[in-house]
Amino acid sequence: MARLSIIRWLPQLVLGLSCLLLLSIWIATDSIAAGKTLTVATEPTFPPFEFQSVTGELQGFDIDLMNAIASSSGFRVKYQNMPFAGMIPALQTQTVDAAVAAMAITAERVKTISFSRPYFKSGVAIATRADNQNIINFDSLKNKTIGVQIGTTGAQKAKSIPGSEIRTFDDSPLTLQALINGNVDAVLNDQVVLLYGIKTGNLEKLKVVSSLLTEEFYGIPTPKGSPNLQAINQGIETVLKNGTYAKIYEKWFGIQPPQLPEKSPIENQAPKKGVSQLFTSLSIIFKSLPTLLNGALVTLELTAISVLLGMIGGTLIGIVRLFPTPPLPWIARAYVDFFRGTPLLVQIFMIYFGLPALAQNFGFTFTLNRLVAAVIALSLNCAAYIAEIVRAGIQSIEPGQTEASQSLGLSSVQTMRYVIFPQALRRMLPPLGNQFISLLKDTSLVAIIGFEELFRKGQLIVAENYRSFEIYATVALVYLFLTLLSSQALSRFERSLNPINKKKAN
Ligand code: GLN
């Protein structure tokens, strides 16, 4: 019967498959013809080079320039937004054909990617609060807390400041926010971007120290040996000669462009051959393991403190939820709804960046240490979930038991303490265990405020060696190890609380 119906459908099946085949051939040939459409990575949080208008349109010096290069060299551009620190790995794996992101040509970067000829002269500068009279040059940054954007030349420069404490953020606006809030003493980033950010954001509390710490040139990066590099270089050449470059420069900076060198002082390098890939990967993993394990310790520490506070808070809130008369149960319910109904990431941002900014509006300065902000956010959030686990656990015990204990003469507190809670606790353990494991993984979200736990440590290593696969795979394995270990410990604990096991042990 089944065979018959297959035979009946065979012609349709063959027709369908042939159509699919034709379609894929058509798509494939089209993409060869449209070898002219380049996927170009950008990070639109770096004004005036790349940013988004209120309507979400990409704009900026780099975008205008890239479009001009594309039209003069006859290719089309499809922009793809991604974090700056992810661009070099994306170029290495050829996920994108190029990037336009105010990326400086550096000796470290040319080891893994190739750059076009220089298209902009730039340099790293210091931004600090307008009332700070001590930070005047590089030497005065000694022993200060410095905010940088992950993976940038500013971050690289900050490493050479003796005694400094470096805080890394994902993009340039976050570094400036941290500076306004007083979480860092200074920010190192490209001078033009700092000046533009302060001017357009009306950040009159900030200033830029005039001297430059570096001199660098931006280039358009492509994967090593990319066939598109020539077209991009030709495009730059043309727009420089025909005056388009000067027009774009004037549009964004209001002045005539300076003379640019034809070649970067740092030249592209040929791809390395010969070293076994497996050997390189293993040696990269071994080298990064101590740093990652150090991050894992921080993760565990953060989880333990937050879970402890979350348990205390959550138990109280869960019990309050069961009070018979309002308004306390309503308040507890609102708390649970708020912290369960909003993303943890938003809560972290609100606490670390939002609260100090709000305090400043009311005229007083208050800054939050990263550990404190992370612990507050994680424990407030996990308390909401624990409250529900505790409430449901207690409610799951049959009301008859309360009546029975009270008729035996136990007070309400005694009933809760000796009869209800011990039984409820056993029912609560599996969901509490789940909560612990989720929290352990959620700690990775505090990387966003520059807290150097396991995931952030991994990000920082990738920002230096660009080996995303090896590093993130190792990070994932360390998380897996931690969660497996925790679930083992939790199930042992659960078993030890089982009265049947207890009896056996006796
Ligand atoms: N110019 C800096 C660098 O190359 C920063 C660029 C950026 O953040 N988009 O590292």
User: Which is the closest atom of ligand 1 to the Cα of 149?
Assistant: 8
Give the range among 206-210, 271-275, 301-305, 361-365 with minimum mean pLDDT. 271-275
Please give the pLDDT value at position 231: 94
| 124-171 residue pLDDT tens | 999 999 999 999 999 999 999 999 999 999 999 999 999 999 999 999
Binding-site residues, ligand 1, Cβ < 6 A:
43, 46, 84, 101-104, 149, 152-153, 190
Q: Whose CA is nearest to atom 5 of ligand 1?
A: 152
Contact present, 370 and 448 (Cβ < 8 Å): no
103 Cα nearest atom in ligand 1: 4
Q: Is the pLDDT of residue 22 over 80?
A: no
Residue whose CB lies within 8 A of the most ligand 1 atoms, among 51, 88, 149, 150, for a mutation test: 149
- C-beta separation of 479 from 454 below 8 A: yes
What percentage of the chain exceeds 90 in pLDDT?
A: 74
Cα 473 from Cα 433, distance rounded (Å)? 25
pLDDT in tens, 407-436: 999 998 899 889 998 899 989 999 999 999
User: Taking 90 as the threshold, does the pLDDT of residue 294 lie above it?
Assistant: yes
Q: 37-120+218-273 domain in CATH 3.40.190.10?
A: yes
Lookup: tokens for 160: 């050479």
**Where does the pLDDT of residue 26 fall: very low under 50, low under 70, confident under 90, or very high at 90 and above?**
very low
On whether the CB atoms of residues 122 and 141 are closer than 8 A, the answer is no
pLDDT of 32 above 60: no
- Which ligand 1 atom is nearest residue 156's CA? 10
**What are phi and psi for residue 318, nearest 5 degrees?**
-60, -40
Going 351 to 353 to 358 to 363, the CA torsion angle's sign is positive
Q: Select the highest-mean-pLDDT range: 14-18, 33-37, 106-110.
A: 106-110
pLDDT, mean of residues 332-360:
94
Structure tokens at 98: 């190029």
Phi, psi of 381 (to 5 degrees): -70, -45
Beta strands in 453-506 (DSSP E): none
Angle at 320 between CA 319 and CA 321, to 5 degrees: 90
**Measured in angstroms, how far is the CA atom of residue 150 from the centroid of ligand 1?**
9
One CATH from 3.40.190.10, 3.40.50.300, 3.30.450.20, 3.90.550.10 for 124-214: 3.40.190.10
Instruction: Select 277-505's CATH number: 1.20.1740.10, 1.10.3720.10, 3.30.1600.10, 3.30.497.10.
Output: 1.10.3720.10
Distance from residue 60's CA to the centre of ligand 1 (Å): 14
Q: What is the percent of the chain with per-residue pLDDT over 70, rounded to a whole number? A: 91
Widest CA span in the chain: 97
For residue 172, which atom of ligand 1 is closest to its CA? Answer: 8
CA of 190 to the centre of ligand 1 (A): 7
Q: What is the pLDDT of residue 387?
A: 97
- Cα(44)–Cα(17) distance, integer angstroms: 42
Among 105, 111, 174, 187, smallest CA distance to 145 is for: 187
Q: Which pair of tokens denotes residue 392?
A: 């449901």
| Ligand 1 atom at minimum distance from 49 CA | 9
* Cα 104 to averaged position of ligand 1 atoms, centre (Å): 6
How far are the Cα atoms of 107, 125, 468, 485 from residue 474, in angstroms, in the given order? 27, 35, 10, 16
Please state, in angstroms and rounded to a whole number, the distance separating the CA atoms of residues 10 and 6. Answer: 6
Which tokens in the block code for residue 105?
């040509």
- Give the residue-averaged pLDDT of 321-338: 93
Given this model, what pLDDT does residue 183 score?
92
Is there a contact between 63 and 248 (Cβ–Cβ < 8 Å)?
A: no
Q: And the tokens for 266?
A: 């740092």
Every domain of the chain with CATH number 3.40.190.10 lies at 37-120+218-273, 124-214
Mean pLDDT over each residue of the chain, to the nearest integer: 90
Whole-number Å distance between alpha carbons of 231 and 116:
10
Contact 300, 372 (CB under 8 A): no
Torsion angles phi and psi, residue 129, rounded to 5: -75, 145
pLDDT at 298: 96
Length of the chain: 506
User: What is the distance in A from the centroid of ligand 1 to the CA of 149?
Assistant: 8
Which one has a higher pLDDT value, 369 or 347?
347
Q: According to the model, what pLDDT value does residue 394 have?
A: 93
CA of 43 to the centre of ligand 1 (A): 10
Residue 450 alpha carbon to ligand 1 centre in Å = 18
pTM above 0.75, yes or no: yes
Say whether 216 sits in a helix, a strand or coil.
strand
User: What is the pLDDT, as a whole number, of residue 493?
Assistant: 87
Ligand 1 atom closest to 152 (CA) = 10
Please tell me the distance from the alpha carbon of residue 186 to that of residue 144, in angstroms, as a whole number.
8
Q: What is the pLDDT of residue 274?
A: 59
β-pairing verdict for 124-129 and 206-209:
antiparallel
pLDDT above 90 for 30: no
Q: Which residues are CB-contacts of 478 (< 8 A; sequence separation ≥ 6)? A: 292, 293, 296, 454
Q: Which of 21-25, 71-75, 373-377, 446-450 has the lowest mean pLDDT?
A: 21-25
Other Cβ atoms within 10 Å of 368 Cβ, number: 20
| SS3 state at 77 | strand
At residue 505, the pLDDT reads 52
Q: What is the model's pLDDT at position 504?
A: 57
Cα–ligand 1 centroid distance for 397 (angstroms): 59
Half-sphere exposure of 337 (CA within 13 A, CB side): 7
**Residue 312 in tokens:** 């205390």
Residue 312 is predicted with a pLDDT of 97
- Residue 12 half-sphere exposure, CB side, CA atoms within 13 Å? 5
pLDDT at 177 over 90: yes
Q: Residues 6 or more apart from 494 whose CB is under 8 A from it?
A: 426, 429, 430, 433
- Range(s) of the chain covered by CATH 1.10.3720.10: 277-505
Name the band, by pLDDT with cuts 50, 70 and 90, for residue 450: confident
**Residue 62, pLDDT above cutoff 50:** yes
Could you tell me which residue, 500 or 151, shows the higher pLDDT? 151
Residue 491 structure tokens? 């199930």
pLDDT(27) > 90: no
